[in-house]
Amino acid sequence: MIVIMNNETTDAHIDAVVQRLKGWGLGSNVSRGVERTVIGAIGDESKIDKELLQALPGVEQVIRVMKPYKIVARSYHQEDTVIDIKGIKLGGKQIQVIGGPCSVETQAQMDEAAKGVVAAGCSMMRGGAFKPRTSPYTFQGAGVEGLDMFRKAADKYKLPIVTELMDVRQIDAFLQYDVDVIQIGTRNMQNFDLLKEVGRLHKPVILKRGMAATISEWLMAAEYIAAGGNHDIIFCERGVRSFETYYRNMLDVTAIPVLKKETHLPVIIDPSHAGGKAWMVPALARAAVAAGADGLLVEMHPNPCEAWCDADQALNPQELIDLMASLRGIAQAIGREL
């Protein structure tokens, strides 16, 4: 931690900072420059409460030297973490594509979707049983019954399933239906009580980035899960809020190399929720794989025009098959497989 004093600082102000650092067990290096005095904290920065330093008289700015995240940091674990999901390896050389509809509607729809997922060569299946909807007056998801339909459809093809958890009170149902990967949605990225609960489970967690979360906040949200003992965390970038109105969200493709540098955990991309239109999905999916993503979460519906939710962003089964072919070529060009 570095404390920059303002230009009206007195010796008493400097001493107060030094004493406060001492109280946390840290030493100080006081450097009196021509225009500013700068105090460097020597010792374990994690013991410092930055805001308490910032509130002291004479302090202009306090700058963190160390990253605030620990378990999820690349420095904690140098090698890439590979997560095993019923035998499917996520985070290694093989790129994994998770396909399926936005929401679980009927058994027939899920059966058809599972067939399409397998036909395209995807390794896992997605589908929402509990849906976070902007309006209280629209379809809120099929609920527990939806989990049941999803499990049945996926089991025929031995597909691991991924679905969103919105409320701590749904955890029992998720365990009962043996959901393979729990998704935490963008609106719950900083629902800290929910993060703490999934941190206690033995289930991989996909943590979607908050609508306008910085990468640092996102890593800290993952740290909540990791601190509870669950280190099987998958970051999922799904576009962030911006001033552009042509599409729904701005896919932050730069987040891929940044996360690869900062954390050892896998990174996947959701090109469907990013752009919000089916015709944008192939370009975004290709960009994600080329930039180094470990996987994709792609919406596919057996009959997009009849989907009960986000109908205009789902690929149809044939479009998913076509997309997979072009992704394979890109994966090879960068030394990976798909």
Q: Rule CB under 8 A: which of 47-76 touch a copy of itself?
A: 49, 51-52, 54-57, 63, 65-66, 68, 70, 75
Distance of CA 293 to the CA centre of its chain: 12
**Binding flag, residue 42, a copy of itself (CB under 8 A):** yes
Residue type present at position 329:
G
- Helix (H), strand (E) at residue 227: helix 215-227
Tell me how far apart the alpha carbons of residues 237 and 27 are, in angstroms, rounded to a whole number.
Answer: 40
Interhelix angle 281-290/317-333, nearest 10 degrees: 20
Tell me the chain's radius of gyration from C-alpha atoms. Answer: 23
Reading the block at residue 70, the tokens are 């620990």
Q: Shortest distance, CB of residue 26 to a copy of itself, whole angstroms?
A: 9
Instruction: Give the binding-site size for a copy of itself (rule: CB under 8 A).
Output: 106
**Binding flag, residue 227, a copy of itself (CB under 8 A):** yes
**Binding flag, residue 35, a copy of itself (CB under 8 A):** yes
Pairing of strands 205-208, 59-63: unpaired
Of the pair 31, 176, the CB lying nearest a copy of itself is at 31
Choosing from 36, 86, 115, 203, the residue that interacts with a copy of itself (CB under 8 A) is 36
Choosing from 13, 24, 40, 321, the residue that interacts with a copy of itself (CB under 8 A) is 40
Q: Shortest distance, CB of residue 152 to a copy of itself, whole angstroms?
A: 25
Tell me how far apart the alpha carbons of residues 148 and 141 are, in angstroms, rounded to a whole number.
Answer: 13
The interface region with a copy of itself, picked from 116-124, 150-158, 230-238, 253-261 by CB under 8 A, is: 253-261
**Binding flag, residue 244, a copy of itself (CB under 8 A):** yes
Choosing from 22, 25, 76, 168, the residue that interacts with a copy of itself (CB under 8 A) is 168
Q: What are phi and psi of 283, to 5 degrees?
A: -60, -45
Task: Tell me which residues in 195-214 interact with a copy of itself (CB under 8 A).
Answer: 196, 210-214
Task: Tell me which residues in 307-326 interact with a copy of itself (CB under 8 A).
Answer: 307-312, 326
- Helix (H), strand (E) at residue 275: helix 271-275
The interface region with a copy of itself, picked from 113-121, 176-184, 200-208, 252-260 by CB under 8 A, is: 252-260
Pairing of strands 83-85, 267-269: unpaired
**Exposed, middle or buried by CB within 10 Å (0-12, 13-18, 19+), for 3?**
buried
Choosing from 82, 144, 253, 321, the residue that interacts with a copy of itself (CB under 8 A) is 253
**Binding flag, residue 193, a copy of itself (CB under 8 A):** yes
Of the pair 152, 187, the CB lying nearest a copy of itself is at 187
Residue type present at position 232:
D
Secondary structure class of 125 (helix, strand, coil)? strand
**Binding flag, residue 87, a copy of itself (CB under 8 A):** no
Choosing from 58, 275, 295, 302, the residue that interacts with a copy of itself (CB under 8 A) is 275
Task: Tell me which residues in 284-303 interact with a copy of itself (CB under 8 A).
Answer: 284, 286-292
**Binding flag, residue 167, a copy of itself (CB under 8 A):** yes
Single out the residue of 44, 84, 81, 85 nearest to residue 66, CA to CA: 44
Distance of CA 221 to the CA centre of its chain: 9
Q: Could you give the string, one character per residue 112-151, with x where binding to a copy of itself holds by CB under 8 A and - elsewhere?
A: --------------------xxxxxxx-------------
**Binding flag, residue 10, a copy of itself (CB under 8 A):** no
Q: How many CB atoms lie within 10 A of CB 64?
A: 12
- Helix (H), strand (E) at residue 29: strand 27-32
Q: Shortest distance, CB of residue 320 to a copy of itself, whole angstroms?
A: 16
Q: What are phi and psi of 41, to 5 degrees?
A: -85, 135
